[in-house]
Structure 1
């Protein structure tokens, strides 16, 4: 049969076609889910619409999560791939304050919550547009929201359940405090930055002499309650057990020996204040010292600071350094970089302030979580260490209450007479700050007046029950049994110690089971210079206009092929655009083959058997990568094979036979060409779902490629020894023609190597060998 006009008329792939393909998916209900035993649930991270544009690194992340879902479906799994939007917490409050130029506590609480909801709606709409454009195979428009009454009901119900189990309590303890946002934060919400500061060497009076103490927090002299020195430091052996006088304030404090002191830091003597850092907290407890509050909830020095009352700590630091020098108490000041704890949200250095908060017991659960994590498979394995390091560091229970507005309210009322807490029955969404207490009277004293709790939960209290919410925990037992535990938790590495850990903790406390069997951890999206991308740094790229311009498939292919899974990746727009070249190559190959009706013939020629051997190697390589959800492996392998083996060598090699007279040789060539192309499309489908589905339907089936199973190796005989000989011979001929100034169609004198004798006929036709130029 002669070659006909290409069935695919368009000469290039148009990203605008992605919209048509997506509409067809939606109309067909291609990704609908029906629960069945052993469903494969993906506990997809609900993204946070905290500002615009949406982080391009997050767009790459969610593209690869979608590749996981598509890979699992092609492996025969019944995939449940829900999507949620995280709408609780501090970021939206800060964004709303900035947008409307107001402070949260300066307006009515309900009015502020309404502004937050409006802000979230606007930001969420753009985020969902981006997700839809990326081709996520979940029902993007039917996502759950963590600020819905239904979700908040679940969060409150789990709190009530754990309260009744005795796992939650109230206590006044030193807490990490972010004065910018006005709330307590957990250890897991702290990051550490090397910030420039001053190491101040101060002279304390010791009898008739002096002792020098170095500190980065001289403004806390008013809260100094002891000085500690190294146990075997001969410089201070005579002072241990005596008292020294604090400069500026004049009060006396004891000198104690302690093993935590590093004799080579500063002067080797350390003042213990309430509270400079967590080490101070531990020392105050251990040494039985009486605490004082040097810094208030407004982030300013309190009355015990004397002349520095009302100043910010940084202002007080500058003033007290001046006063130390004026009073002859300053030895020297060094400029250093100091590892400083800062709030991950506001980037403000945290202070430690005694506050009453609700706590969820976690210290006693660490051995259990450690045991559960042993059977949790990490992709890649190296990121298991993040969780292990965090488990090693947990030393106190989790403070779960926050003094903010936009979040799930803590469902507690307190008796106005005796302060006895009343915790209602689970089952509905409670707002104690604006609702009457469900109880008529206090069970303790009989009082009839109650005060509703004003605080909300730490946002991780909501996020940590995501696998329970999506599996309809407590609502639909049959659905829950088929979807929980989930199969996979995909997420970024920076929230292993928060979202991953807290979810394991909470779900185990509530169900006695690990929430998933696998964890897939992605690295950070960096800018071109290797710096972490963030809206705060101003180096983000808006993904939506880019995806509309170059197409989702090009973006997704860049994401998969940029770096091996789990490592940080650089977001270079030029690199993203360059991936379109491969899609153009794939389109051109498909358009060329669309002119040949697909034949069903066994490979009768040696070149056909060779390319099928190479195809088997490709399938095995891709299978290896897909099983690990490492899309870098198939993305690179498919591109290399398609461009540099299939198109450059095999297609050129068999064109003559494919265009030739009807017969077994022609049928073998055409059948092999389509077999290879169809396999390439199947292998590439999870990564570039649009172009592969379009071409599949044009060439091979009226049904979507995404209903197909992943290809498996055919067992073709290994002919890889031929590959190097063949590619080397072809390169030699092409170079020779170039040197002679000949076109590729011109004839050239050459001899086919003996090792390629089975290829001789096709090679002579390909290179026009044997005829005089």
Structure 2
């Protein structure tokens, strides 16, 4: 009998053929035929550089969720978007072109950003399609499109009208290199080498020397007080007294528990501002701040002779000037706050910014989310709770950058108050006149000055479920979809993308943004290290896609760890997955040689393998229900490679080839096909290409319109309990033949154990037992 599968080997080229069929037939179009919908808030990948293999696997697993839900009977709304706003692309454009954003005409810089994004986006879309993502690529979203930016501005205007937005001058995280405010969520911490300098102050009355250690001597001109811990008896006699700084300024000595008796000398400067502890201390102690920092990170005229210097320059200069006051200096590792994008140490600078209220809503938000949304894995909710419970400030949402959605505000030239347009348009106040000519506050027609700031990029990406689902631009779609069913994302952006989306959607709708929140682990190299250019361990997907194909990458990623855990990836693991695909192909090709009978009278061997199949189905379904692909992948792989192919297939070949009765042949054919059909459906969400090619060649139609298999009670028999013993016996016989140096086909004289007598006929045929 000729096999229906002609090719002797599985090839990545066959993936391209099946993808063409999917595209031509519109297989994954959101059809609304099934009556129940599952919508995915797909993470819009950031178009600022090439994807590495971990990102590819992350998106492949999101596709596995979409495919799972289709096989569970849902119409799946699986939009795709690309994130194209914000600081990262500006940094890349500056590097690539050797320019500074603020020294480049705004229109020219925006053009360069768009050109860069268009090129970077092509690679992301190409890899996503090549991985077999069943998302909607015919009308994908872009966060810098007129549509998206219009909706970002709409939600801001709506929030402004609700009293959720205000403008204030406050100390903020500020990146001197990027020259913009950063939210707390955009601040990272890095262990950096620093100099701990011990400076001699003197007590005003007694001239007693008091040594104070600091890592920020350049902030000495802004020192307003020194503090010690109330439990530190060494400095009790200084309480309320005045110290003279090495610069000759007078500062008061106060008690406060923030002082660490074990750091430095136990007494510390309070300056405006070294960090947020200083901000809090100035407020609590009623101190008057002396701001010596400019917005560009240089010191201003209040710093005296150090005015105009950058902080690192001022630090060197002040240490040189005060060398007679230095007791000692030592190198230490200091936990330093840095910009999330360029890694420059941040400064705390008072800035006038727009804020979105969040502090007042955190308890309500927690209650809503915890009562209506489910996290996968369950313990991952702590990532979000830990962040929410640490929030102490509202969200500063304005940025002094160029490539972002403009803040839709104009200021009256007469009264100076802000005026906002009606939502529904895309407004660029820095270059356009407002769509009104009268101030709503004072009635003046003297004109307006447009806002030139843009939004924090998370203001755009945080409304992804609203934009995807039609909020503000397709009310019929939004009425149908409402909140997204699923947010899939990495754990590394919980405090930004997840939290801000929950906050913004709650502001807009009063409800949580999602029913299910899926937080994945990080992709690591074979040694367990994060992939970074500096480590030289980044694996790019294109060479692996060409060599092994998408399904091998997808299977390797799914097989590595349970969902939520960090996972390791290497070419060796992908090569191993590719070998399994070859095994699956070979087994399927063998089975495709035989007809698929409608029914059969099963032998004990057939019933045994169906019992083993039942176990595999149960394990796989449990994993799929939790959006965890480790168990489906590993259980199916084990069944095919360790049980079905080496034992069952070998035991029934003689029957399948017609060396027994017609009834025995039919039972083998029926069981072979039934097992294969179950395995193909189990693996379809994970390895969609090979399973669909096999299904189409043998059975017609597509596996992706089938349902996930269910276990059958009638297959739960005592024969299944003998599986381990049966396979042990097979391995025992093969071992004996190998030790004797005889072919596996040669006869051997052995006794078949009594408990395995039900399988005797197949065992004798397999091992040629006399």
Q: Cα distance, 1:334 vs. partner?
A: 2.2
**8 Å Cα contact 1:54-1:542 kept in structure 2:** yes
Q: Distance in 2 between matches of 1:530 and 1:321?
A: 42
Aligned ranges 1:471-482 → 2 under 5 Å: 471-482=469-480
Pair 1:7 & 2:4 matched: yes
Change in Cα spacing, 1:364 to 1:469, as seen in structure 2 (3 Å) is same
Q: Distance in 2 between matches of 1:575 and 1:483?
A: 39
Can you list the C-alpha shifts for 1:654-677, whole angstroms capped at 9, x where unaligned?
111111244222111110011101
Instruction: Note the aligned Cα RMSD (angstroms).
Output: 1.4
Counterpart residue number, 1:345 = 341
Aligned ranges 1:634-649 → 2 under 5 Å: 634-649=632-647
Q: Distance in 2 between matches of 1:642 and 1:93?
A: 50
Change in Cα spacing, 1:624 to 1:603, as seen in structure 2 (3 Å) is farther
Which of 13, 17, 21 is the aligned partner of 1:20? 17
Q: Distance in 1 between matches of 2:31 and 2:665?
A: 45
Q: Distance in 2 between matches of 1:525 and 1:347?
A: 22
Which of 134, 137, 162 is the aligned partner of 2:134? 137
Counterpart residue number, 1:595 = 593
Change in Cα spacing, 1:720 to 1:246, as seen in structure 2 (3 Å) is farther
Q: Cα distance, 1:724 vs. partner?
A: 1.5
**8 Å Cα contact 1:133-1:548 kept in structure 2:** no
Q: Cα distance, 1:141 vs. partner?
A: 3.6
**8 Å Cα contact 2:190-2:335 kept in structure 1:** yes
Q: Distance in 1 between matches of 2:463 and 2:576?
A: 41
- Choose 130-139 or 472-481, whichever is displaced more: 472-481
Q: Distance in 2 between matches of 1:669 and 1:89?
A: 61
**8 Å Cα contact 1:603-1:609 kept in structure 2:** no
Counterpart residue number, 1:203 = 200
Counterpart residue number, 2:683 = 684
Which of 708, 724, 728 is the aligned partner of 1:710? 708
- Choose 446-455 or 267-276, whichever is displaced more: 446-455
Pair 1:225 & 2:224 matched: yes
Can you list the C-alpha shifts for 1:98-144, whole angstroms capped at 9, x where unaligned?
12221112221111111111111111011100000000001224211
**8 Å Cα contact 2:47-2:117 kept in structure 1:** yes
Pair 1:291 & 2:289 matched: yes
Q: Distance in 2 between matches of 1:648 and 1:484?
A: 50
Q: Distance in 2 between matches of 1:561 and 1:93?
A: 37
Counterpart residue number, 1:29 = 26
Q: Cα distance, 1:603 vs. partner?
A: 4.5
Change in Cα spacing, 1:160 to 1:536, as seen in structure 2 (3 Å) is farther
Counterpart residue number, 1:309 = 307
**8 Å Cα contact 1:176-1:185 kept in structure 2:** yes
Can you list the C-alpha shifts for 1:402-421, whole angstroms capped at 9, x where unaligned?
00000100000011232111
Gaps of 5+ in 2: none
Aligned ranges 1:572-651 → 2 under 5 Å: 572-651=570-649
Aligned ranges 1:389-468 → 2 under 5 Å: 389-445=386-442, 446-468=444-466
Can you list the C-alpha shifts for 1:581-640, whole angstroms capped at 9, x where unaligned?
000000000111111111222352100000000000000000011111111111111111
**8 Å Cα contact 2:607-2:720 kept in structure 1:** no
- Choose 31-40 or 754-763, whichever is displaced more: 31-40
SS class of match (1:142): strand
Gaps of 5+ in 1: none
Counterpart residue number, 1:737 = 737
What is the TM-score normalised by the length of structure 1?
Answer: 0.97
**8 Å Cα contact 1:18-1:691 kept in structure 2:** yes
Counterpart residue number, 2:725 = 725
Q: Distance in 2 between matches of 1:174 and 1:566?
A: 36
- Choose 538-547 or 625-634, whichever is displaced more: 538-547
Which of 652, 655, 664 is the aligned partner of 1:654? 652
Q: Cα distance, 1:536 vs. partner?
A: 6.1
- Choose 399-408 or 363-372, whichever is displaced more: 363-372
Aligned ranges 1:242-391 → 2 under 5 Å: 242-247=241-246, 249-325=247-323, 327=324, 329-375=325-371, 376-391=373-388
Q: Distance in 2 between matches of 1:359 and 1:432?
A: 19
Counterpart residue number, 1:501 = 499
Q: Cα distance, 1:574 vs. partner?
A: 2.1
Q: Distance in 2 between matches of 1:704 and 1:190?
A: 48
Q: Distance in 1 between matches of 2:356 and 2:650?
A: 67
**8 Å Cα contact 1:193-1:339 kept in structure 2:** yes
Q: Cα distance, 1:260 vs. partner?
A: 1.8
Q: Distance in 2 between matches of 1:754 and 1:203?
A: 92
Q: Distance in 2 between matches of 1:267 and 1:148?
A: 56
SS class of match (1:357): strand
Q: Cα distance, 1:548 vs. partner?
A: 2.0
**8 Å Cα contact 1:622-1:633 kept in structure 2:** yes
Q: Cα distance, 1:319 vs. partner?
A: 3.1
Q: Cα distance, 1:323 vs. partner?
A: 3.1
Q: Cα distance, 1:551 vs. partner?
A: 0.2
Q: Distance in 2 between matches of 1:292 and 1:477?
A: 52
Can you list the C-alpha shifts for 1:238-296, whole angstroms capped at 9, x where unaligned?
1011111111x110111011122221222111110111001101111111211122222
Aligned length: 762
**8 Å Cα contact 1:55-1:534 kept in structure 2:** no
